[in-house]
């Protein structure tokens, strides 16, 4: 489990994205039962580090702490630095990957990790405005411009600005469990998990009908996860044709009804595993998986662990914090 976090800032850093890392990992939330992280801001040359909007922060620690941290967060760097990244920062990233630490980037921080070479042959993302440039600079990286974040092994890259927070919450779910991540998200007053991708935020002409909310239908879906929910059935509740409903749903949520429903079922299974002593068959029924075997298959595919293994680690947030 993550205990130590190093946030790497380089000259020209972006304050908002830097602040996301501080908010996600730097605050003491022990009063909410969340383990506290040893969070430190580090830079190659301690002292005043200028931001990209005219002010500086004073950073006391050099990069030595990053070589001990369980998580290394890399904040954005300015465009003019993309092909001239401080080699000391590149070495820190390489060593972190070699020793199995987590590495997480926000926005153009992905260019630092890409320059280190550790993303070669892997999938990654960055802000959609920079994705083409990254793909051109690093043709050996599979750059996906259509997602909020990508996890490939223990490297997580995220898209622009607030997508970094999605990536942070994703990692917190992995390390602390779904309920702990939900508590942190509630403190931040943000959704614990957003569906969809960057395409939702790129300026493009959309049909006027996409402004109609589907929330009554999605609310009903969440209340009836145990049912076998078909697009035809959901479309009828929305008073639309199946084709129109599927198109509208993807425009609003960035994914298909089936994919969204599958994600919600996994999240509900996580909550039940953490907060109840229900058996796997009962949890499978409540979540709409039908059988424990199907639950195990889907749970392992999405989270990389078994329901039993997940419960052993995250059975109760109060126990976890004690």
Sequence-separated (6 or more) residues with CB below 8 Å from residue 219: none
What is this structure's pTM?
Answer: 0.72
Confidence of residue 192 (pLDDT cuts 50, 70, 90): low
- Residue 273's domain comprises 205-322
pLDDT digits (tens, 9 = 90+) for 258-310: 988 998 999 899 889 988 999 999 999 999 999 999 999 999 888 888 999 88
With contact defined as beta carbons under 8 Å apart, do 217 and 238 qualify? yes
- What token pair was written down for 79? 């465009």
pLDDT at 201 > cutoff 50: no
Q: In this structure, are 110 and 231 located in the same domain?
A: no
For the cut 50, the answer to whether the pLDDT of residue 158 exceeds it is yes
Domains held by the chain: number: 2
Domain match, 50 and 168 both: yes
200 within some domain: no
- Mean of all residue pLDDT scores within the chain: 88
Please say which residue of 163, 188, 213 terminates a domain. 188
Sign of CA dihedral 300, 302, 304, 307: negative
> Quick check: is 195 in a domain?
no
Give the tokens for residue 166: 């999605």
pLDDT at position 71, please? Answer: 98
Burial class from Cβ neighbours inside 10 Å (0-12, 13-18, 19+) for residue 96 reads: buried
Quick one: what percent of the chain has pLDDT higher than 90? Answer: 68
CB 125 within 8 A of CB 170: no
Considering the domain architecture, whether residues 211 and 145 belong to the same structural domain is answered as: no
Q: Tell whether 80 and 228 lie within a shared domain.
A: no
pLDDT digits (tens, 9 = 90+) for 122-144: 999 999 899 999 999 999 999 99
CATH of residue 91's domain is 3.40.50.880
């Amino acid at each position: 489990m993550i205990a130590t976090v190093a946030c790497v800032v380089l000259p020209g850093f972006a304050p908002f994205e830097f602040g996301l890392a501080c908010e996600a990992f730097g605050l003491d939330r022990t009063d909410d039962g969340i383990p506290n992280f040893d969070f430190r801001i580090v830079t190659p040359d301690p002292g005043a580090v200028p931001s990209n909007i005219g002010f500086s922060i004073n950073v006391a620690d050099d990069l030595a702490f990053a070589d001990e941290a369980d998580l290394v967060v890399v904040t954005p760097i300015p465009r003019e630095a993309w092909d001239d990244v401080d080699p000391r920062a590149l070495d820190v990233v390489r060593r972190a990957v070699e020793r199995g630490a987590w590495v997480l980037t926000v926005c153009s921080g992905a260019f630092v990790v890409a320059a280190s070479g550790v993303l070669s042959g892997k999938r990654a993302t960055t802000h959609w405005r920079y994705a083409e440039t990254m793909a051109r600079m690093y043709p050996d990286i599979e750059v996906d411009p259509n997602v909020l974040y990508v996890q490939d092994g223990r490297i997580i890259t995220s898209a622009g600005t607030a997508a970094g927070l999605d990536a942070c919450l994703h990692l917190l779910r992995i390390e602390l469990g779904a309920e702990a991540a939900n508590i942190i998200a509630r403190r931040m007053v943000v959704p614990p998990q957003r569906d969809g991708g960057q395409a939702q935020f790129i300026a493009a002409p959309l049909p006027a009908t996409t402004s109609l909310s589907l929330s009554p239908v999605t609310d009903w879906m969440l209340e009836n996860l145990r049912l076998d929910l078909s697009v035809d059935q959901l479309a009828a509740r929305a008073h639309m044709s199946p084709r129109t409903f599927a198109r509208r749903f993807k425009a609003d949520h960035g994914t298909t009804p089936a994919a969204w429903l599958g994600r919600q079922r996994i999240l509900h299974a996580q909550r039940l595993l953490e907060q109840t002593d229900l058996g796997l068959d009962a949890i499978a029924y409540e979540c709409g998986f039908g059988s424990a075997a199907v639950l195990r298959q889907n749970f392992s595919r999405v989270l990389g662990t078994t329901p039993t293994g997940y419960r052993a680690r995250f059975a109760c947030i109060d126990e976890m914090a004690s």
